[in-house]
Structure 1
Amino acid sequence: MTLDDLIAERTITRALTLIARAMDDRDWAALDDLTVPDMTANLGTGELGSRAELVASIRSFLDACGPTQHLLGNVVVDVDGDTATSRAYVSDLHLGTGDRSGVTFQTLGDYHDSWVRHGEAWLLTRRVKHNRGHVGSFTALGPGPEGWSPRD
């Protein structure tokens, strides 16, 4: 492993953390500096073909939800020149709000991400979330997108 690989690994790990914090802070504009516009994703609701679609999908869950916390762990980054892949466990807690106060929903999952070097930055090009399990009621999230199930 080279020093450049170690710096890339650290930069990607930081980007992963900033993405999680952007979701919890509802700072959708922060994703502009962390992802490519034409990124793709599958979070369990079907294929998404752009950053705008990703943000819309995440917002369909989090806009009607109370506070959230996305915790990442066991991060593994593999760098290959100007591209990289990462895997990170995610445990996300969602609290209901309003008439859903006291309702919680938590998932255990695994982010499988692809990255591209852009100058000094590493930008997310693809995210796939593998949902391993959930606890609680997804009503904490509000209605969610049509046809979504936490088992997807």
Structure 2
Amino acid sequence: MDARTLADRLEITDLLTRYATAVDSKDWALYRTVFTADAQIDYTTAGGPTGDLETVVSLLSQQLELFTRTQHFISNIAVELDGDAAKVRAMFFNPMIVTPGKQFTCGGWYNHDLVRTPDGWRSARLYEESAWFDGIEAAFAP
């Protein structure tokens, strides 16, 4: 593996870490730095929003107010580099706390289409592929 490939893979891993940090801290300015201005984002498999970056930020920021805490673990990062483009598929595990004692977990994959920009790698498309949920009904029970 050459130095450029290693550097790209490290930067892509950092991008995924920035994504998780932004969502868990509800830092929407930081979240925007993960994506291109014209990115398309799709969280529909988890019951979330889909659309362009600003639409998703507006809706996701409201939806995540339901949770006092979230924590994203991202692993098993598969990167297919093709010049200034990359496809990334990474697993996520996400515990979410609604209120103390009421929580659920979910898992699945993030599928990103990345492009190299003057500011580094950015996601032009994110499709969240949810695989499972555990405890969601109890977390929202009265």
**TM-score normalized by structure 1?**
0.82
Distance in 1, Cα, partners of 2:86 & 2:19: 17
Distance in 2, Cα, partners of 1:60 & 1:107: 19
Distance in 1, Cα, partners of 2:13 & 2:125: 15
Q: Would you say how many aligned residue pairs link Structure 1 and Structure 2?
A: 139
* Structure 1 residues 10 and 138: alpha-carbon distance in aligned structure 2, compared to 1, 3 A threshold: farther
* Structure 1 residues 110 and 56: alpha-carbon distance in aligned structure 2, compared to 1, 3 A threshold: same
Q: Which residue of 2 aligns with 1:63?
A: 65
* Structure 1 residues 139 and 42: alpha-carbon distance in aligned structure 2, compared to 1, 3 A threshold: farther
Distance in 1, Cα, partners of 2:138 & 2:65: 13
Q: Which residue of 2 aligns with 1:148?
A: none
Deviation of 1:63 (Å): 1.2
Distance in 2, Cα, partners of 1:107 & 1:121: 30
Unaligned runs of 5+ residues in structure 1 are 142-152
Unaligned runs of 5+ residues in structure 2 are none
The structure richer in strand per residue is 2
Contact 1:19 1:31 in 2 (8 A): yes
Deviation of 1:48 (Å): 2.6
Distance in 2, Cα, partners of 1:75 & 1:12: 9
* Structure 1 residues 46 and 29: alpha-carbon distance in aligned structure 2, compared to 1, 3 A threshold: closer
Stretches (4+) displaced over 6 A: none
Deviation of 1:119 (Å): 1.9
Contact 1:76 1:86 in 2 (8 A): yes
